[in-house]
């Protein structure tokens, strides 16, 4: 018997039906047992690529090493080709929806063991999905996603400046240090055990998931953005972002004049707002200001500011959104209204052929996005753009989207 379970891909599980299959699904997601790594921090072999953290591991004791995205706002996922290779059971049918409303069908399964960096969780749930589009979009070969239903047994530390992730079996309460912020968070099976904090801007209060897989500082439903203490909104022409299945239908960019988590005020923060999104997310561009420690069993997050890292409340960019198509070509997905790219006539569906004298194919998606929007000391990008009107060479300056 098949049962339909709606799941917001990487964010939320909602069980709609009743019967034995529902209880089986709940049991799968709640399941898992950690083989404790001990109280000492164990640094995982990790690769930081743009906003993604990549780790390698083993499934069910496999000799082969598989590559995963590490994402705190995710449920663990296994690509369908890898699942077939390992002959994983497809126990319960699920319907997955990403943050932009894209939908795809997959299956929940129970992994006998999942091991990363020598740290193992047994009898843990994963959703089997076709991850082809993720590979096409990123240009990175991945076999799955490690989510919070794996991480929830540990204390996890993210050090973006050193590009390190560590896990520990020391679950004693975190200790606040001078200048650091200690914030409580909650977890729910329906959100795949992702850490959820209380947040606010002005008179708007909302719950937000800690999402290491998000490239923005903060992403909010458009309905919440309209209620926040903010500056003027900049509209996206085309698709400036999206989920792993579909692009956002409507997106704006703004700067919040205030942003709070718990009782702590963090000042001005850039946020994007999207139509149709029903969950707020706190992403890498905010988290990377800190060494972030998540004590999952205690429900505590410690943010220790990194010396020398500026509290970036602006975006220095060409204004170009970019994606990869099924053939690996880099296409302009959209531009921010009034940005240098918009003023230069760059538009959605233009193909990016060359970047700073190199073929676009030489870059990963993360590298391409960094060149187009990162304050890396270079104030312009040389592009060769191709569309139905032919190919042209442009030098597009970067500029801050909000007043300095």
Task: Count Cβ neighbours within 10 Å for each residue of 45-56 and write b for 16 or more, e otherwise.
Answer: ebebbbbbbbbb
Strand partners, 295: 155, 300
Name the average pLDDT for the chain: 87
CA–CA dist 91, 78 (Å, integer):
14
pLDDT in tens, 62-106: 999 999 999 999 889 999 999 999 999 987 887 766 655 567 778
Question: Is residue 113 a contact partner of residue 60, using CB atoms and an 8 Å limit?
Answer: yes
Q: For residues 243 and 104, is the Cβ–Cβ distance under 8 A?
A: no
Q: How confident is the model at residue 4 (pLDDT cuts 50, 70, 90)?
A: very low
Find all residues with CB under 8 Å of 229, minimum gap 6, and list them.
201, 202, 203, 204, 256, 257, 258
pTM of the complete model: 0.89
- pLDDT, position 325: 83
Give the other-Cβ count within 10 Å of 159's Cβ.
17
Q: Rounded to an integer, what distance in angstroms lies between the CA atom of residue 106 and that of residue 83? A: 11
Distance CA 174, CA 180 (A): 11
Position 377 confidence tier, pLDDT thresholds 50, 70, 90: low
Domains of the chain: 5-168 (2.40.70.10), 194-289 (2.40.70.10), 316-400 (2.30.42.10)
- Weakest mean pLDDT among 129-143, 160-174, 185-199: 129-143
Dist. CA 247–CA 278, nearest whole Å: 15
pLDDT tens column, 269-285: 999 998 877 789 999 99
Q: What ranges in 147-236 are assigned the alpha helix state H?
A: 148-151, 222-225
Instruction: Break the chain down into helix, strand, coil percent, rounded to 5.
Output: 15, 45, 40
Task: Name the token pair of 201.
Answer: 């801007």
Q: Name 104's Cβ contacts closer than 8 Å, sequence gap at least 6.
A: 9, 95, 96, 129, 130, 245
Total number of residues shown for the chain: 404
- Do 271 and 216 contact (CB within 8 A), yes or no? yes
User: For 196-217, what is each residue's pLDDT tens digit?
Assistant: 999 999 889 999 999 998 888 9
H/E element, 97: strand 92-97
- The secondary structure element, H or E, covering residue 293 is strand 290-295
pLDDT (0 to 100) of residue 12: 44
Most confident of 94-108, 148-162, 315-329: 148-162
d(CA 230, CA 202) in angstroms, rounded, equals 8
Residues 242 and 36: their CA atoms lie apart, in Å, by 36
Taking residues 347-359, what's their average pLDDT? Answer: 94
């Amino acid at each position: 018997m098949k049962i339909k379970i709606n799941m917001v891909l990487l964010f939320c599980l909602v069980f709609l039906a009743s019967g034995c299959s529902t209880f089986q699904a709940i049991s799968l997601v709640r399941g898992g047992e950690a083989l404790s790594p001990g109280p000492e921090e164990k640094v995982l072999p990790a690769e930081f690529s743009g906003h993604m953290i990549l780790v390698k591991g083993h499934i069910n004791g496999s000799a082969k090493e598989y590559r995963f995205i590490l994402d705190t706002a995710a449920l663990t996922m296994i690509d369908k080709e890898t699942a077939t290779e390992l002959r994983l059971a497809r126990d319960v049918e699920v319907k997955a929806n990403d943050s932009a409303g894209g939908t795809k069908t997959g299956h929940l399964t129970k992994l006998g063991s999942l091991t990363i960096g020598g740290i193992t969780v047994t009898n843990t749930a994963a959703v089997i999905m076709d991850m082809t589009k993720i590979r096409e979009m990123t240009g990175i070969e991945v076999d799955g996603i490690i989510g919070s239903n794996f991480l929830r047994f540990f204390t996890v530390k993210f050090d973006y400046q050193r590009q390190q992730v560590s896990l520990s079996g020391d679950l004693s309460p975190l200790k606040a240090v001078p200048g650091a912020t200690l914030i409580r968070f909650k977890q729910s099976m329906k959100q795949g055990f992702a850490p959820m904090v209380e947040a606010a801007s002005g008179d708007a209060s909302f719950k937000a998931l800690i999402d290491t897989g998000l490239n923005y500082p903060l992403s909010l439903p458009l309905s919440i953005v309209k209620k926040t203490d903010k500056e003027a909104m900049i509209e996206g022409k085309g698709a400036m972002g999206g989920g792993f299945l579909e692009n956002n239908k409507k997106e704006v960019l703004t700067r919040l004049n205030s942003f709070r988590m718990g009782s702590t005020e963090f000042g001005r923060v850039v946020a994007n707002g999207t139509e149709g999104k029903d969950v707020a997310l706190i992403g890498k561009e905010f988290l990377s200001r800190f060494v972030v420690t998540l004590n999952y069993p205690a429900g505590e997050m410690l943010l220790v500011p990194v010396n020398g890292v500026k509290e970036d409340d602006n975006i220095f960019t060409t204004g170009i959104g970019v994606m990869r198509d099924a053939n690996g070509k880099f296409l302009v997905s959209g531009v921010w209204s009034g940005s240098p790219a918009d003023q230069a006539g760059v538009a959605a569906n233009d193909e990016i052929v060359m970047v700073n004298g190199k073929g676009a194919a030489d870059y990963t998606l993360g590298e391409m996005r960094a060149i187009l929007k990162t304050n890396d000391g270079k104030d312009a990008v040389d592009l060769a753009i191709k569309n139905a009107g032919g190919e042209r060479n442009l030098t597009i300056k970067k500029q801050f989207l909000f007043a300095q």
